[in-house]
């Protein structure tokens, strides 16, 4: 089962929140994260999934 969370909306989500979600056997998906700096910030809290329209950012990761 997956929880979808709109990143940078009303409530903050942290790495600690994600840890607790996973402890319950769930996955966390952050959406819609499109700006490069916000994607990097979202990646730093280690979600299971990130929904984004910025394919170029993720393609650049695979070329490193």
Q: What percentage of the chain has pLDDT greater than the value 90? A: 83
Q: Hey, how many other C-beta atoms are within 10 angstroms of the C-beta on 28?
A: 21
Query: Once rounded to an integer, what is the mean pLDDT over residues 14-30?
Result: 96
* pTM summary value: 0.84
Q: Model confidence over 46-55: pLDDT tens digits?
A: 999 999 999 9
CB 25 within 8 A of CB 48: no
Query: Once rounded to an integer, what is the mean pLDDT over residues 3-23?
Result: 94
């Amino acid at each position: 089962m997956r929880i979808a969370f709109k990143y940078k909306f009303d409530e903050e989500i942290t790495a600690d929140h994600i840890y607790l979600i996973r402890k319950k056997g769930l996955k966390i998906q952050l959406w819609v994260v499109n700006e490069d700096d916000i994607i990097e910030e979202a990646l730093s809290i280690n979600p299971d999934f990130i929904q984004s329209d910025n394919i170029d950012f993720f393609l650049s990761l695979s070329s490193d």
